[in-house]
Every structure is written in C-alpha cells, then in structure tokens.
Chain A
Amino acid sequence: MDDVFLQSLLLADSTLRLATPLVLAALAGLFAERSGIADIGLEGKMLGAAFAAAATAAVTGSAWLGLGTGIVVGILLALLHGFACITHKGDQIVSGIAINIAVAGLAPTLADAWFGRAGNTPLLQGDARFAPISLPLAETLRDVPILGPIYAVLISGHNVLVYVMLAAVPLAWWVLYRTRFGLRLRAVGENPAAVDTAGISVEALRYRALLGTGILCGIAGAYLSTAHNASFIRDMTAGKGYLALAALIFAKWRPVPTLFACLLFAFTDALQVRLQGVVLPGIGEVPTQAIQALPYVLTVLLLAGFVGRAVAPAAIGKPYDKERPHRV
C-alpha cells in the first residue's frame, strides 16, 4: 500500500516536471492567440531560448543570466513574428514555420561553432543550473502520514522555474480577465475593428501580447536547458511547442484549463516511461507509441467536435487592415 502511494507520488512529481515547459509555452500561445495572432512558432522560440540560456549559463556560470538571455531571445523571435504578420500583414502560419525551421538550424550551427560539440552546449554544473529548492521543514515533516510525503516529494524539491510556472497560471488568468489590458487583448482577438473604433491601436496591442508570448517562451526554453536538463541538446524541444499548442486548443484558449490539459499530456508522457514493457492484466503489453500519440489523437478528436467543441478566437489568423476593417 505504502509502495503504491509513493509510486503515485513519484509519478505526480515527474508529471509536474514534464508539464512545466508545456504550461509556460501554452500560456505563451494563449497571449498570442487570444490577441488574434496564430502562433505555431512556440517550438522555435522555446528552442532558441533554450540554446541562448544554456550558452550564456555555460559561459558566465550563472543560470539567472542564462534565463535573462533566454527571455531576450524569446522576445526577439516573438517580435520577428510580429514584424512579419502585424507590420507586414504576412501569413501567420508561414511566419511560425519559418521561425521554427530557422531556429532548428541556427541553434545547433551556433553550438557547433562556439562550443565544438556537435550541436550541443557543454554540461552545466553548480550555479549554472537551477537547483532543486527544499521548502522549509520538508525533511522534518516527511514522517507525517500522507501529508508529509506529499509535501516533501510533490510540493518541495523543485527548481524555481516550476514554481514560476505555478504562479504564471493565476497571473495569466488575472491579466486576461481582471485587467484593462486583458479585456482589450481578448477584444482584439474577437473583433479588432471594434477595438480600432474605440481609438485603441490594434497593432500596438498585438505587439504587447507578443511580448508576453516571448517572455513565457523564454522561461520555458531556459527551463528545458538549464533546469530540467543540464545542457542544450539538438532538437531538445522535440515537439513540445506543438504539444503545448494542442493543450491550448484542448483547453479552449483558457488559462486554468490549459494547466490541466498540460498536466494530462505530461501525465501520459510520465506514464509511458513507466509502462515500457509492463504487461497490464486483461490488456497485455501497451505499446508506448500508442500512449505517446494519445495527446495528438485527443486534440484531433476535440477539434473535430467528437469530444466537446473548441472555438478559436474569431479574428485569429487574419491580419488587420485599418483601411478595410471588415474584410474576411
């Protein structure tokens, strides 16, 4: 019994760790998409930030400086996306693909040239990496039944970015639903012409939304390379940006459900590692690939309206033209 309890705690613990980059990236996508900018470039922004953070941390020995550069790179890539699809009214999907592909090439190229390690950065040690934080009294309380292990294993012992992620969800909710900026942001994603008529700049509002996207992608990337892992590895995002996008859609573009969608997807990931080669009674051996593909299959089913219905922000994907505000 105790063993089952501890096992499920460990499973929950690794779910939380795996969910962190997904939640941060999905919230990043939330800001962009609620403002009417489709963003399939989360993957590239995260990867770019992951490289920048690991490279800076490797050179300076400071994980915090790494986080800073990661955020700067995230913002720059988000602004590039804005430059293409807000300023020049380019196609948002094409711009996202361009960023994903360019970064997938550029990061290993620079890693190769600067560190000579076949597309990776050197291993980070000591302060160059975000270490687990032990919350107060975690060890003392460990022996308290039920709650003690929950506190010690699940709540305590994560690095600071996991807690940042947990704080980011209510913060995103508050910004989106309780501030003037959030109200305008949601309005510009549904009906930019109305926002324009109210005398508010659609372009400036969308650029500010993308700023939020860049910051969150930056943190997500830094988490991957300087907290969850100890270096930048080629293609280390491995589709997490797309998975985050799927979670965002799954959550119907709302912050709190986004957290749960990411936890669900991360749970399938944590589970498939543990289920490798395990024979379940009555089912037999579950192919790990089936569990891996589950989040993608669920998203397709949801989009097709077979499980619930996901309705995107109305103005998503359409560049806003001041002179022809009602063009569809």
Chain B
Amino acid sequence: MKERIEICLSGAGGQGLILAGIILAEAAGIYDGKEAVQTQSYGPEARGGASRSEVVISNDSIDYPKVIKSDILLALTQTACDKYVKKLSKDGILVVDSSMVKEIPSVPAKIYQFPITKIAQEKLGTKLVTNIISLGIITGLTKVVSMEALKKAVYNRVPSKAKEVNEKALLLGFDIAKDMKLKEES
C-alpha cells in the first residue's frame, strides 16, 4: 500500500457521505490499526448543496488532514464529479454513480461506473444505502480497508434496526466490484 491514500467521497447533502467517511476512517483507523483522518465540507443547507467527506489513510502519522490529490474519488452527482475530478490523481480511481452522473469526464484515471442509486432502490428498496453500497464497491476495487474492518465499522455506526439492510448493501457493493474486477482480468 502507498504510504498515504487520499479518498474523496463527494455528492450532495443527504446522501450519507459524511457517515460513509466516518465508517471508512473507523474501519482503517480502529479495526485495521492504521492511521486515519476524516474531514468534511458542506454548506449551510441540511439537504442538497455540495457535500464531501475526505478520508486520509496512512501507515504513519498523518500531518495534513485533507485531500491534496485524491487517489480514490467517489462522485454521486454530476456537480460533484465535475468539481472534484480536477483534484483526482492521474493514477487515481474514479467511481461514479452512473444513475446520477451522465457526462463522464475524460481523465487519465481509471473510471468505474455503477448505477449505485438505482441498485440501492431496486435491490434493497431504499436509496438510503447508496453510501454503504459505495463503500462496498471501493473496498472491492481497492482493498483500501479490509472487508472485516469495514463490516465492523458499519455495525458500529448504523442504528440497530438498519444493520441488516446495511450489511446487505455492503456485500452487494463488494460483489459488483469484484465481478467488475474479474471481467477486467478475463
């Protein structure tokens, strides 16, 4: 693993990006035993408006807590995609929700498209788990955290009545990413 991995989770307020960042940081920092910092940026609105959550993961102590160049960028809206792709590293990975992002930017980074919101609605009956499916996808694609750690972190952070659906969401995301990886390799 690279010394310092910078992850930007972006979209709109209400999509659960800040919680996703917390879960990812907790998985890396507490359960995988690495160093992790999570920060966030959002507007004064409760819903809508740009929202991003940033996670830095490292084996060493972390000085600057924010993303300089993302190694992994998740974009759940077109606006977020257009805005944060500028800070995506050229060897980075871009994961877009293709049910929300129609214009895919042409960047040297590796781009993965999944209709995340649509999958959430169709397979699990709620858009609320879009964030957790996204975490499953990121882990399936990159192994930035271990799946065991991520599971524990999801369990720790979601309300008890929502544990089951969130666990399903996590596995669903992980599996579609794995399938994609297999297709690439064959």
Do A and B come from the same complex?
A: no
Task: Show the binding face of A for B, using Cβ within 8 Å.
Answer: none
Task: Show the binding face of B for A, using Cβ within 8 Å.
Answer: none
